[in-house]
Amino acid sequence: MFSPASAVDSQEHVSITINGKETSVRAGLPLALALMEAGITPLRHSVVSGAPRSPLCLMGVCFECLVHVDDSRNVESCMIEVRQGMSVELANGPRPMESAP
């Protein structure tokens, strides 16, 4: 569905995990682009309507590309670069809110 523009073509790759599955992605890419290249479509579902969502603005404004990265929930994947060993979990529903005791 998405294909890379030749101007940003890179031969170097890093390995990340997506929902526990090891995946090789091009080094230097924003995570959102790497996930698009890896064919993750849709990336998530709206927590309001349940409608499918994919990255839209790719510049940190629309919040459509949220994923969990390592220990951080709901990170904008367009705003961070892929890194060797990065662990990505696709977001599933709104952040749970357990009340303090």
Partner 1 sequence: MSTIAKPVDTIVIGGGVVGLSIAYGLAREGERVRVLDEGDDAFRAARGNFGLVWVQGKGAGMPAYAKWSMAAARAWPAMAQELTGLTGIDLQLSQPGGLHLCLNDSEVDARIRTLGRLADNIGEDYRFEILDHTATKAMCPSIGREVVGASYMATDGHVSPLRLLRALAAANIALDTEICPNQCVDAISYRHGAFYVNVGAREHVAAKVVLAAGLGNRRLAPMVQLDAPVEPVRGQVLISERVAPFLSMPTASVRQTGDGGVQIGDSKEEVGFDNGTTIEQLSRMADRAVRSFPVLGGVNLVRTWGALRIMTRDGYPIYEQSRECPGAFVVTCHSGITLASQHAGPIVQWIRGGEPPEHIQNFKAGRFNV
**Site residues, partner 1 (CB under 8 A):** 47-48, 63, 66, 73-74, 93-100
Closest separation between CB of residue 92 and partner 1, Å? Answer: 12
Closest separation between CB of residue 5 and partner 1, Å? Answer: 29
| Closest among 27, 8, 5 to 16, alpha carbons compared | 27
Residues 73, 88: Cα–Cα separation, whole Å: 10
Tokens of 31: 């995570």
Residue 6 or 49: which CB sits closer to partner 1? 49
Tokens of 70: 């390592």
Residue 47 or 90: which CB sits closer to partner 1? 47
Residues 53, 93: Cα–Cα separation, whole Å: 12
Residue 20 or 96: which CB sits closer to partner 1? 96
